[in-house]
Structure 1
Amino acid sequence: MLKTTLSLAIAAAISAPAFAGHDDKPLVIEITSGLPQVENTLQSETTAVQASPTTDGGELLQSLSGVSGIRMGGRAIDPVIRGQSQTQLNILLDGAYIHGGCPNRMDPPTSYSTVDSYDSVTVIKGNRTVVYGGGGSGGTVLFERQWPSVDEKGYSGELSASYHSNGDRYELGADVAAGSDTGYIRVISHKTEADNYDDGDGNEVRSSFESLSQSLLVGYRLTDTTTIEASYDKQEENDVLFAGAGMDSPYADADTTRLKLTHEFEQGVLQQMQLELYQSDVKHTMDNYSLRPSGMMKMQAPSTSDTAGLRLIFDARAADIDWTFGADMQNNARNAELQNAAGVVQRIMWADAEIRQTGVFAEGEKVLGADDIVKGGLRYDLISAEATRRGEVVGTPAYSSDDIWQLAGASAGAGEQRTEHNVGGFVSWTHRLNDQYRVESTLSRSVRTADATERYMARFTMTGDWIGNPELEPEKHHQLEVSLQGNLETLNWSATGWYNRVDDFILRQSVAAGMKSRDIYRNVGAELYGAELEAAYPLNENWQLGSALAWTVGNNLDDDTPLSRIAPLELNSSLDYHKERLKMGVEWQMVASQKDICLSGAANCGGQDVRKTPGYGVVNLHAQYEFDRGLSLLAGVDNLMDKAYTVHESRDDAVNPDPFQVAEPGRSVWLRVTQSF
């Protein structure tokens, strides 16, 4: 079953007066039965992205130019876009926000996204829309599904199996749908198991895991203009090992329920109305004894994260402007405790941290003659945050969360309810210089509220502290982005430069606290800027060259130090061949060394960087052949030269006695078989 790209309301076709070839769609990865393809924001050409089967959405995103990731183990890659991560990115899984249950980011939202269970992944770099929530200064990522396409038989489906030699990782998947234009039912299931992989030097990396994903989707057309859809996802993660943490995760479960009502108006200004409701509940635990040799102090940390939300969106056309406007709500509640092996609470790390967000938004797009298009949006968010268990006293010595925050400098009662009024928006102008060139510029402001960990973390121990700051101001990002695109007969290219000035950037920093180190959060002035170059050159009707360059810089302007976890200069080049049923290609990833760092630890800069990382080059091969009757065979080799390397942003290896990072996998031969029907 070929899953086609989900069209977005904000990326609808522009009316006839618009200049030829204009395409305002963001980056869209089409998930198919074969090699995934990416349609560039600026060009109509497609280039291959990571071909080998991925463990989760974070690993897929990591293969895109300008997108990197933080590795802790074999899965749960935490994505970074233009130097920004965590809640600086808006990540939605089929319309739902899922906030992970682990304070240490063992389960970022993308860890609950089995890639093959979605039809498309849309990546919007920077702040270019106000529809999908407040913040989103680094970008927005949409994992989406669509009404399944079935033929006259009334059903369709896809079965898949894959294997990676490094770590003996295998995956089995099934996606089956039955129905018609009137209604459908769809069942999706994926199971993955992996042992520890080896890095390029043959060292074993703690990275094994088990994952089971199951989804049930139903849809019904109430009338010719009204549809209703519902879905339920259950994701189970078991025995997940993390080299980049002092604990492992025996289990992490996520249950997500969604309901979507869509109505198309047959006449008048309004064109479409869409109402989405969702509930995501995460249960997570980590400990330092059940999956690894235990030390003197056996500790566990059970946690929960429950998120409920809704989004009401209208599409309209008035005054020759295409409008999208509406309102959304999101309520997240998190609890986390640090316990001994007997279940006795030692500290409350998330003291029932509640963050409630209500927003209203509107954006419009207008064609100004044959050569100009303008687009703009405005958003207001009302934020309230409170830690309702802040006064509970536990542990030895006995402290409440409120007491611990005061140890780090907060005032008494800092955990009481706080309210923010955040305003963001953007304006963009696209101008066609001639038939071959056009320039696009975007000016934006986005405001990101502090998350539960930044506000309310209260981990106070004899060996080290990790303490939030309930008095943090929200981040204010002011960005300018300019892009020049060329569409020539033999070459498509784009060059983009961007600058982001951040007021009240939320910085995590290690400081000395007596004989131990303490991680705290504070507001500083910061800047992020960079450039991205992309080009696609067809050698002939079968061969195509592609290349993408990404460069990012981040600075703490208050302390005159670099920001942590900023990706070094990266160049990805590819050569792809496509003839009839055969596709194959080679990718060469070259990454420079990163020397502009802020080292972790109170004795250093107090940042999150592990070390100065050396540069590296990695070569990947892939091939696909489509047989008759829907059978496809894919194969390839990742890290062909068995290179030993680490991604700069990755965590330090807590298992290895040397202070080095979690290494990437060495050479791995992989095979994938899919059968569509």
Structure 2
Amino acid sequence: MLTSIEKDMDVIRKVLPVAVAAVISGQVVSGAALAGHNDENTMVIEITSGLPQVENTVRNETAAVQASPTTDGGDLLKSLTGVSGIRMGGRAIDPIIRGQSQTQLNVLLDGAYVHGGCPNRMDPPTAYSSVDSYDRVTVIKGNQTVVYGAGGSGGTVMFEREWPLFGDNGYTGDLSTSYNSNGERYELGADVAAGSEQGYVRFISHKASGNNYEDGDGNEVRSSYESLSNTLLAGIRLSDNTTLEGSFEKAEEEDVLFAGAGMDSPYADADTMRLKLNHQFTQGALRQMELELYRSEVKHNMDNYSLRPAGMMQMQAPSTSDTDGLRLTFDAQLADIDWTFGTDLQNNDRDAELQNKAGVISRLLWPGAEIDQQGVFAEAEKAIGKDDVVKAGLRYDRVTAVANRRDEVNGGFSPQQIWEMAGAPADAGEKKTENNVAGFASWTHRLNDQYSVETTLSRSVRTADATERYMARMTMTGDWIGNPELEPEKHHQLEISLQSNDGYLNWSASGWYNRVDDYILRQSVAVSAGMGMKDRDIYRNVSAELYGAELEMGYQLAENWALGSSLTWTVGNNLDDNTDLSRISPLELTTSLDYNRDRFQAGVELQLVDNQNDICLSGSANCGGQDVRATPGYGIVNMHAQYEYPSGITLVAGVDNLTDKFYTVHESRGDVVTGNSFQVAEPGRSVWLRLSKSF
């Protein structure tokens, strides 16, 4: 079943009589029955005139997307059911899906992997994704595919662009601007293209700026930023069946303040180049071939003196992260089975240094970390009769990792010596090789015209990232040390979901369980430091489990009124230590009421979030985890209204956090390494306005 959302409709979502959640603004869904099968956990967000549209490819539900202007892709994603985000400042929200984050998620920006340049996650991949510059965002929760790279145990997120559609005039475009009162944040966007089915040229530009916002208690939160991205794309049809597309994208972040970190970022730049070749076959079993090449180059710096009052120890941490990749994919149909198979390659090189203001190196944070992944994969889908669809996939990955600067001495120690102090062997930073096998199998059965059930069993393997392997930060007050001997995480997941499509009332219920062997845990331990003790953050493998449930419902109350609701619940346990995993989202309920008539839409949303007491507190004196505190629950209200003029101009306005509530999202954090153990408060009341024009 395919659930679609009409153009530029702002949702508010999901109702269930349970008290828990937070507020967002989104769009109202109109259910449409489609023949065929779609993956149960796939959401597609189509960006139209700067405002997102959402399709959930299995559930006829109300699928909510934040109506107010978003600061980046992570800010957009956290308004979806089962998706949260870690906040350190005004932007660069690091998404979490079902209790998993960072490299447990595969995030692709128009087919390219852009691995951030900050060891402290000031620039996750979504920080380089201006939402207005993409045509569609696809979110696959859990392990439902093997096509888009290794890992992806928590899910796969794809920000995508498509060949523009042109009318008789041979051009198309979108212009937009927005303003948010809290922090005086503004955005300007332009997306213009000229061409035809034979070829096109497209230019996308997005500029954003924001000052520090205020929380619900009127306190100023360090969160200002400057952002600019420009993208040039071109495509040509080489023949009736072959197209070639290329793009160059430059994203620049400047003077970004972070309340949740001991440093700020004076700059973070990402240059991304892409090339795509697509060929359609007209005979034989092969249907399509697609070759994608990309390179991303990230330069980042953070310091504790240029954007804040300088202390005695003035430090900076310049870093780079360069990624090269290739994906070759074939689609075929053979023996009444739809096949997708191919190969992908990815190489990531990272360097990060801790320096004083004069540029003298005291430590190597990423000592020439190089991780190379080579994979092959195959997926097959077959309809068995009119009521059953089976799908399965298998992939193999060979991973090699090495720290090329492991023996370089700075500040009296090399990274290799620092790892040995934490218990690693003498050859810890030398080249290591992994052979990883992953796959999934799913069965979808239509019980009758109203109900269908889907079951998915999967295994995904995630290799340790550069920080988990090779971090080598050691100071007199605290250490942060990687473990080159880490085993890759093995996730074994079972998910069962039931969907109902009954015209006016559509709902879905799903439950999932994830048993993880060799879960990579970051933990604080106490070590001696001269005459006293200090905390040392290390990484180790443990056995863990994650499980949860999601309930979603959409009800058409009347011709112009729609009610929506969603409920999410997640649990994470460290089975070795019998403790809770850190940064697990609390129980959350979101309820919305939308009105839609002709060119006018309006909505109100109530988001209720439970308290989170199942925690592992930071610091060796506590549990040694990453949680800052037990977080109290909260409730907030959002409102919005939209009118689309006949001229193609769309005006949207609203209020987020109507009651000016002070609250913090549990997963948000301070910089535990520097001892700033506090959560970053969310914005207080925000009045916003957005104006867009399509032509």
TM-score range, shorter chain: over 0.9
Q: How does 1:161-180 map to 2 (within 5 A)?
A: 161-180=177-196
Correspondence 1:113 to 2:116: no
* Partner of residue 567 from structure 1, selected from 585, 597, 612: 585
Correspondence 1:289 to 2:305: yes
- Structure 1 window deviating more from structure 2 (656-665 vs 66-75): it is 656-665
- Does the Cα contact within 8 Å between 1:92 and 1:143 map onto a contact in 2? yes
- Does the Cα contact within 8 Å between 1:94 and 1:144 map onto a contact in 2? yes
Q: How does 1:446-457 map to 2 (within 5 A)?
A: 446-457=460-471
Distance in structure 1 (CA, Å) of the matches to 2:264 and 2:231? 26
- Does the Cα contact within 8 Å between 2:62 and 2:564 map onto a contact in 1? no
Distance in structure 2 (CA, Å) of the matches to 1:284 and 1:659? 24
Shift, 1:652, TM fit: 2.3
Correspondence 1:605 to 2:623: yes
User: 1:369 and 1:283, CA in 2 relative to 1: closer, same or farther beyond 3 A?
Assistant: same
Residue 639 of structure 2 is matched in structure 1 by: 621
Shift, 1:150, TM fit: 1.4
Correspondence 1:199 to 2:215: yes
User: 1:492 and 1:524, CA in 2 relative to 1: closer, same or farther beyond 3 A?
Assistant: same
Residue 24 of structure 2 is matched in structure 1 by: none
Residue 38 of structure 2 is matched in structure 1 by: 23
Distance in structure 2 (CA, Å) of the matches to 1:347 and 1:532? 45
User: 1:653 and 1:415, CA in 2 relative to 1: closer, same or farther beyond 3 A?
Assistant: closer
Residue 583 of structure 1 is matched in structure 2 by: 601
Residue 414 of structure 2 is matched in structure 1 by: 400
User: Once the two structures are superposed, what CA deviation does each residue of 1:614-633 show, in whole Å capped at 9, x if it has no partner?
Assistant: 00011111111000221110
Correspondence 1:529 to 2:553: no
Q: Which runs of no fewer than 5 residues in structure 2 stay unpaired?
A: 1-5, 9-32
Residue 596 of structure 1 is matched in structure 2 by: 614
User: Once the two structures are superposed, what CA deviation does each residue of 1:220-274 show, in whole Å capped at 9, x if it has no partner?
Assistant: 0000000000011100000000000000000000000000000000111000000
Q: How does 1:355-504 map to 2 (within 5 A)?
A: 355-395=371-411, 398-504=412-518
Shift, 1:656, TM fit: 12
- Does the Cα contact within 8 Å between 1:35 and 1:624 map onto a contact in 2? no
Distance in structure 1 (CA, Å) of the matches to 2:504 and 2:401? 54
- Does the Cα contact within 8 Å between 2:661 and 2:685 map onto a contact in 1? yes
Residue 652 of structure 2 is matched in structure 1 by: 634
- Does the Cα contact within 8 Å between 2:471 and 2:481 map onto a contact in 1? yes
Distance in structure 2 (CA, Å) of the matches to 1:23 and 1:446? 21
Residue 552 of structure 1 is matched in structure 2 by: 570
Shift, 1:212, TM fit: 0.2
Residue 342 of structure 2 is matched in structure 1 by: 326
Residue 229 of structure 1 is matched in structure 2 by: 245
User: 1:104 and 1:658, CA in 2 relative to 1: closer, same or farther beyond 3 A?
Assistant: closer
* Partner of residue 60 from structure 1, selected from 76, 80, 91: 76
Counterpart residue type for residue 92 of structure 1: L
Counterpart residue type for residue 604 of structure 2: V
Residue 14 of structure 1 is matched in structure 2 by: none
- Does the Cα contact within 8 Å between 1:39 and 1:45 map onto a contact in 2? no
Query: How does the TM-score come out when normalised to structure 2?
Result: 0.94
User: Once the two structures are superposed, what CA deviation does each residue of 1:33-79 show, in whole Å capped at 9, x if it has no partner?
Assistant: 26423212322455441000100000000111100000000000000
Counterpart residue type for residue 602 of structure 1: S
Correspondence 1:513 to 2:531: no
Shift, 1:490, TM fit: 2.3
User: 1:29 and 1:43, CA in 2 relative to 1: closer, same or farther beyond 3 A?
Assistant: same
Give the 3-state SS of the residue equivalent to 1:526 in structure 2.
Answer: strand
- Structure 1 window deviating more from structure 2 (296-305 vs 484-493): it is 484-493
Q: How does 1:77-226 map to 2 (within 5 A)?
A: 77-226=93-242
Shift, 1:30, TM fit: 1.4
Shift, 1:463, TM fit: 1.1
Root-mean-square deviation (Å): 1.6
Residue 8 of structure 1 is matched in structure 2 by: none
User: 1:486 and 1:129, CA in 2 relative to 1: closer, same or farther beyond 3 A?
Assistant: same
Distance in structure 1 (CA, Å) of the matches to 2:677 and 2:122? 20
Distance in structure 2 (CA, Å) of the matches to 1:491 and 1:449? 42
Shift, 1:99, TM fit: 0.5
Counterpart residue type for residue 300 of structure 1: Q
How many pairs does the alignment contain? 661
Shift, 1:432, TM fit: 0.8
Counterpart residue type for residue 181 of structure 2: S
Query: How does the TM-score come out when normalised to structure 1?
Result: 0.96
Residue 10 of structure 1 is matched in structure 2 by: none
- Does the Cα contact within 8 Å between 2:481 and 2:537 map onto a contact in 1? yes
Shift, 1:565, TM fit: 0.2
Q: Which runs of no fewer than 5 residues in structure 1 stay unpaired?
A: 5-17
User: Once the two structures are superposed, what CA deviation does each residue of 1:366-423 show, in whole Å capped at 9, x if it has no partner?
Assistant: 001111100000000000000010000111xx00000000011100011000000000
- Does the Cα contact within 8 Å between 2:612 and 2:666 map onto a contact in 1? yes
Distance in structure 1 (CA, Å) of the matches to 2:676 and 2:608? 25
Distance in structure 1 (CA, Å) of the matches to 2:428 and 2:268? 31
- Does the Cα contact within 8 Å between 2:7 and 2:53 map onto a contact in 1? no
Give the 3-state SS of the residue equivalent to 1:43 in structure 2.
Answer: coil
- Does the Cα contact within 8 Å between 1:243 and 1:655 map onto a contact in 2? no
Shift, 1:660, TM fit: 2.8
- Does the Cα contact within 8 Å between 2:274 and 2:292 map onto a contact in 1? yes
Give the 3-state SS of the residue equivalent to 2:508 in structure 1.
Answer: strand
Distance in structure 1 (CA, Å) of the matches to 2:470 and 2:676? 32
Give the 3-state SS of the residue equivalent to 1:370 in structure 2.
Answer: coil
User: 1:244 and 1:478, CA in 2 relative to 1: closer, same or farther beyond 3 A?
Assistant: same
Distance in structure 1 (CA, Å) of the matches to 2:195 and 2:641? 34
Q: How does 1:36-51 map to 2 (within 5 A)?
A: 36-45=52-61, 47-51=63-67
Give the 3-state SS of the residue equivalent to 2:418 in structure 1.
Answer: helix
- Does the Cα contact within 8 Å between 2:97 and 2:155 map onto a contact in 1? yes
User: 1:491 and 1:410, CA in 2 relative to 1: closer, same or farther beyond 3 A?
Assistant: same
Counterpart residue type for residue 476 of structure 1: K
- Does the Cα contact within 8 Å between 2:88 and 2:261 map onto a contact in 1? yes
Residue 541 of structure 1 is matched in structure 2 by: 559
User: 1:415 and 1:654, CA in 2 relative to 1: closer, same or farther beyond 3 A?
Assistant: closer
Give the 3-state SS of the residue equivalent to 2:96 in structure 1.
Answer: strand
Q: How does 1:637-648 map to 2 (within 5 A)?
A: 637-648=655-666
User: Once the two structures are superposed, what CA deviation does each residue of 1:522-567 show, in whole Å capped at 9, x if it has no partner?
Assistant: 0000000000000000011211000010000000000000000000
Residue 17 of structure 2 is matched in structure 1 by: none
- Does the Cα contact within 8 Å between 1:34 and 1:634 map onto a contact in 2? no
Residue 269 of structure 2 is matched in structure 1 by: 253
Give the 3-state SS of the residue equivalent to 1:640 in structure 2.
Answer: coil
Distance in structure 1 (CA, Å) of the matches to 2:542 and 2:452? 37
Correspondence 1:667 to 2:681: no
Counterpart residue type for residue 618 of structure 1: I
- Does the Cα contact within 8 Å between 1:653 and 1:661 map onto a contact in 2? no
Shift, 1:31, TM fit: 1.0
- Does the Cα contact within 8 Å between 2:49 and 2:175 map onto a contact in 1? no
Shift, 1:3, TM fit: 9.1
